[in-house]
Amino acid sequence: MSALAWQIAQILLVAVLAPLATGYVRFVKARLNGRRGAPPWQPYRDLLRLLKKEAIVAPSASWLFRAAPYVTFAAVWLAACVVPTFTTAIALAPSADLIALVALLGLARFWTALAGMDVGTAFGGIGSSREMLIASLAEPAMLMMTFSLSLVAGTTQPAQIAAFILGGDIGVEVSLGLALAALVMVAIAENGRIPIDNPATHLELTMVHEAMVLEYSGRHLAMMEAAAMLRLTLFMALISCLFFPWGMALPGDGPAAVAVGLAAFLAKVAALATALAVFETMIAKMRVFRYADFLGGALLLGLLATIFLYVSEAV
Amino acid sequence: MMGNVTLLEFLSAGREVAGHHPWPRFQLDARTWRRMVEQMAVSNWDILAEWAEPTEIHVALRGEDSGAIAVASHPCPDHKFFALSRVRPSAIRLERAIRDLWGLAPEGLEDQRPWLDHGRWGVKRPLGSPRISEGRPHAYRFLTAEGEGLHQIPVGPVHAGIIEPGHFRFHAQGETVVRLEERLGYVHKGVEGLLAGKPVAEAARIVGRVSGDSTVAYALAFARAVEAALGVEVPARAHWLRALMAEMERLANHVFDIGAICNDAAFAIMLSHMGMLREKILRANAACFGHRLLMDRVVPGGVAVDLAEEGWEALAHLLGNFRKLFNKAVALYDNTPSLLDRTTGTGFLPAALAHRFGAGGFVGRASSRGVDARKAPGYPPYDELDFAIPVLAEGDVHARLMVRVEEVRASLRLIDQILKQMPRGPVAAPVPNRGGEGMAVVEGFRGEVLVWVRLSEAGKVVRCHPHDPSWFQWPLLEAAIEGNIVADFPLVNKSFNCSYSGHDL
Return the minimum-mean-pLDDT range out of A110-124, A167-181, A281-295.
Answer: A167-181
Give the phi and the psi of residue A42 in degrees, each rounded to 5. -55, -40
pLDDT at A169 over 80: no
Size of interface A-B (CB pairs under 8 A): 83
pLDDT at A281 over 70: yes
Q: For residues B201 and B186, give the distance between their C-alpha atoms in angstroms, rounded to a whole number.
A: 28
Tell me chain A's radius of gyration from C-alpha atoms.
19
Please compute the mean of the pLDDT values over residues B265-288 and round it to a whole number.
Answer: 92
Banded pLDDT at A171 (limits 50, 70, 90)? low
Q: Which of B175, B180, B339, B340 to mutate to test the interface with A (most CBs of A within 10 A)?
A: B175
pLDDT at B108 over 60: yes
- Residues in chain A within 8 Å Cβ distance of B266: 194-195, 198, 200-201, 206, 284-285
Q: How many Å lie between the alpha carbon of B248 and the closest alpha carbon of chain A?
A: 24
Q: For residues A117 and B23, give the distance between their C-alpha atoms in angstroms, rounded to a whole number.
A: 59
Q: Do B336 and A200 touch (CB under 8 A)?
A: no
The whole-chain average pLDDT of chain A stands at 91
Give chain A's domain count: 1
Name the pairing type of β-strands B56-63 and B69-75: antiparallel
User: Considering Cα of B433, then B68, then B409, then B415, what sign does the dihedral take?
Assistant: negative
Please compute the mean of the pLDDT values over residues B474-488 and round it to a whole number.
Answer: 92
What is the domain extent for residue A129?
A: 2-137+155-165+212-284
pLDDT at B472 over 90: yes
Q: Quick check: A209 and A196 in contact, CB under 8 A?
A: no
| Closest CB from A34, A204, A282 relative to B276 | A34
Q: Classify residue A266: in a domain, yes or no.
A: yes
- Tens of pLDDT, residues B166-210: 999 999 988 899 999 999 999 999 999 999 999 999 999 999 999
Q: Classify residue A304: in a domain, yes or no.
A: no
| Closest CB from B264, B272, B485 relative to A289 | B485
Q: Which of A198, A203, A286, A290 to mutate to test the interface with B (most CBs of B within 10 A)?
A: A203
Q: Do B153 and A126 touch (CB under 8 A)?
A: yes
Q: Give the pLDDT of residue A167.
A: 84
Q: How many beta carbons lie within 10 A of that of residue B94, not counting itself?
A: 24
Q: Do A194 and B266 touch (CB under 8 A)?
A: yes
pLDDT at A3 over 90: no
- Residues in chain B within 8 Å Cβ distance of A204: 155, 159-160
Of B397, B417, B414, the closest CA to residue B480 belongs to B397
Q: Quick check: B263 and B272 in contact, CB under 8 A?
A: no
Q: For residues B115 and B244, give the distance between their C-alpha atoms in angstroms, rounded to a whole number.
A: 37
Please compute the mean of the pLDDT values over residues A205-210 and round it to a whole number.
Answer: 88
Banded pLDDT at A309 (limits 50, 70, 90)? confident
- Tens of pLDDT, residues A215-270: 999 999 999 999 999 999 999 999 999 999 989 988 888 889 999 999 999 999 99
Q: How many Å lie between the alpha carbon of B266 and the closest alpha carbon of chain A?
A: 5
Which residues make beta-bridge pairs with B451? B440, B466
| Closest CB from A195, A200, A205 relative to B155 | A205
> Percent of chain B at pLDDT above 70?
99
pLDDT at A109 over 70: yes
Q: Give the pLDDT of residue B1.
A: 46
Banded pLDDT at B126 (limits 50, 70, 90)? very high
Q: Classify residue A172: in a domain, yes or no.
A: no
pLDDT at A1 over 80: no
Homologous superfamily of B7-132: NADH:ubiquinone oxidoreductase Nqo5 subunit (3.30.460.80)
CATH pick for B191-500 out of 1.25.40.340, 1.10.645.10, 3.30.70.20, 1.20.1560.10:
1.10.645.10
- The CA-based angle A10-A11-A13, given to 5 degrees, is 60
pLDDT at B360 over 50: yes
Q: Give the pLDDT of residue B224.
A: 95
Q: Give the pLDDT of residue B69.
A: 93
- Tens of pLDDT, residues A31-84: 999 999 999 999 999 999 999 999 999 898 999 999 999 999 999 999 999 899
Q: How many Å lie between the alpha carbon of B390 and the closest alpha carbon of chain A?
A: 27
Q: Classify residue A90: in a domain, yes or no.
A: yes
Q: Where in chain B is the domain with CATH 3.30.460.80?
A: 7-132
Q: Do B160 and A285 touch (CB under 8 A)?
A: no
Q: Give the pLDDT of residue A97.
A: 86
Banded pLDDT at B3 (limits 50, 70, 90)? low
Return the minimum-mean-pLDDT range out of A161-170, A203-212, B226-235, B287-296.
Answer: A161-170
Q: How many Å lie between the alpha carbon of B337 and the closest alpha carbon of chain A?
A: 8
- Residues in chain A within 8 Å Cβ distance of B336: 282-284
Q: Is A285 touching B (CB cutoff 8 A)? A: yes
- Residues in chain B within 8 Å Cβ distance of A198: 266
Q: Give the pLDDT of residue B251.
A: 95
Q: Do A34 and B153 touch (CB under 8 A)?
A: no
The whole-chain average pLDDT of chain B stands at 92
pLDDT at A299 over 60: yes
> Percent of chain A at pLDDT above 90?
62
Q: How many Å lie between the alpha carbon of B253 and the closest alpha carbon of chain A?
A: 20
| Closest CB from A29, A283, A288 relative to B487 | A288
Q: Do B267 and A283 touch (CB under 8 A)?
A: yes
Q: Classify residue A201: in a domain, yes or no.
A: no
Q: Classify residue A189: in a domain, yes or no.
A: no
- Tens of pLDDT, residues B483-495: 899 989 999 999 9
Q: Where in chain B is the domain with CATH 1.10.645.10?
A: 191-500
Q: Classify residue A303: in a domain, yes or no.
A: no
Q: For residues B170 and B142, give the distance between their C-alpha atoms in angstroms, rounded to a whole number.
A: 10
Q: For residues A220 and A227, give the distance between their C-alpha atoms in angstroms, rounded to a whole number.
A: 11
- Tens of pLDDT, residues B425-437: 999 999 998 899 9
